[in-house]
Amino acid sequence: MDEIIWIHIIDGSGANIFSYENYIKGTSEVNLTLLSHFIYALRAVAKNMEVDEIKEVDIDKNKFFLIKEKLTNFLFIIKTKPKAKTEIITPILRKIKEKFVEKFTGHFTLPIQDKIQLLKSFKEDVKRIIEGKNPRIDLIDSLSKTKRITRI
């Protein structure tokens, strides 16, 4: 999905837990210092958010969608192009939050190496969610495209 520019998950202290860049031809790399200050400002917006409420913020030529997770108080942020449709981005943001909670619940005390592996698999999950792919549908799709050999 070309409308999504990046996704970040921020913990309660403002530390970046997860980031996903959707590299699109013609975009430039993110200035991490500016991003840090910007995310700090978005955290201020999120302080007054209700659980599972999604805020949409238009800044300059971009839209930002935010949702806060109730158990961890993590902030999930998606930056999109200005013409991104709320009804498309909102379910994606919710799915990413739900997948994160599903994947990491009960695993916050794992050794760092195991957490890194979980983050790698979560990144693949995020990619599938953004592309609108369901692993079960992908499997069925690939099986249906495979040529069938009939033995006589």
Identity of residue 80: T
Full set of structural domains in the chain with CATH? 4-145 (3.30.450.70)
What pTM did the predictor assign?
0.77
pLDDT tens digits, one per residue of 56-85: 988 888 899 999 888 888 999 999 999 999
Q: Biggest alpha carbon distance in the chain? A: 69
30 band by pLDDT with thresholds 50, 70 and 90 = low
Taking only the tens place, the pLDDT of each residue in 122-144 is: 999 999 999 986 544 444 444 44
Beta bridge partners of 8: 19, 77
* Segment 33-62, tens digit of pLDDT: 666 667 777 777 777 777 778 889 888 888
**pLDDT computed for residue 139 by the predictor:** 47
Asked if pLDDT for residue 152 goes beyond 50, the answer is no
Structure tokens at 151: 């033995």
> In one letter, which amino acid is 78?
I
* Whole-number Å distance between alpha carbons of 139 and 56: 34
